[in-house]
Structure 1
Amino acid sequence: MTRKLKLEPCDADALRLAIAEIDELFGLQRVTYDTGKRKLSMAYDGSRLCIDHIEEILAQHAIEISHGWWNHFKEDHYRFVDQNIKDNANKEPWSCH
């Protein structure tokens, strides 16, 4: 899964610590931050992580996600897709053949 979130302006040291903590999560492939666009980009295994894990870490470091409507729309979509992947990963596959 590839996810991008725009962040509100925040303390650079808190952001650095949050990114380091996110980078240690099991199932995360990469995390980057574009300072000019204030965008946090992540790639992770959807069966192990979800956007809520990332947002919890950001909240612990007092980093807010942008309050724009597009960002909220993406967050809701990411949650839906992440939950769907997690649910499908836990089900045993079956076939009628």
Structure 2
Amino acid sequence: MTDFDHRVGVKEANLVIRNLRLTNVVDANRNALMEDIDHQFGIDEISYNSTDACLYLAYDATNINLEGIEDIIKKHGADIHNDWWTHTKEQYYKFVDQNVKDNAKHVPWSCHKPPSGAVKKHKE
């Protein structure tokens, strides 16, 4: 896949996929919740499985993070499921999101590069 296979604001290298169990999602707030998240810059895909009460997300971690998505979830009266496994995944997802964001800003260096202004000598 290339960057052209995704929505605007989503780069393949920064794409992360998340699935979270939610609570208090009913028919009345589900559509508004899904639309609100879907309109955020950096979201590639979103779906909700009512049987498992799971939210499936694919997004660019440099443009949006899980904390912003959680704020939208809470704004609509839903919440992240309160169990050990969901909280463990949530903390791991936040760590990886921050790592992706930091790595996207990182400028690689090399000790093999000549210093700026150095002139290469030619052998004759």
TM-score, L = length of structure 2: 0.74
How many residue pairs were aligned? Answer: 97
User: Higher mean Cα deviation, 72-81 or 44-53?
Assistant: 44-53
| Superposition deviation, residue 24 in structure 1 | 0.7
The reply on whether 1:28 has 2:43 as its aligned counterpart is yes
Q: Does 1:91 align with 2:91?
A: no
Q: CA deviation at 1:7?
A: 0.7
Q: How high is the sequence identity, in percent, across the aligned residues?
A: 38
Q: Distance in 2 between matches of 1:80 and 1:12?
A: 32
Name the counterpart of 1:6: 21
Contact 2:48 2:56 in 1 (8 A): yes
| Structure 1 moving runs of 4+ over 2 Å | none
User: 1 or 2 for the larger relative contact order (CA 8 Å, sep ≥6)?
Assistant: 1
Amino acid at match of 1:30: E
Distance 1:6 1:39 in 2: 4
Do the aligned partners of 2:24 and 2:77 also contact (CA within 8 Å) in 1?
no
Q: Point out where structure 2 has 5 or more consecutive residues left out of the alignment.
A: 1-15, 113-124
Name whichever of 57-66 and 84-93 sits farther off.
84-93
| Cα deviation, residue 61, structure 1 | 0.7
Structure with more helix by fraction: 1
Unpaired stretches in structure 1, ≥5 consecutive residues: none
The residue type equivalent to 1:5 in the other structure is: L
1:16 is matched with which residue?
31
Deviations 1:35-68 (A, max 9, x none): 1000000001111111111101001111111001
* TM-score of the aligned structures, taking structure 1 as reference length: 0.93
Q: State the superposition RMSD in angstroms.
A: 1.1
Q: For 2:52 and 2:69, locate their aligned partners in 1 and report how far apart those are by CA, in whole Å.
A: 19
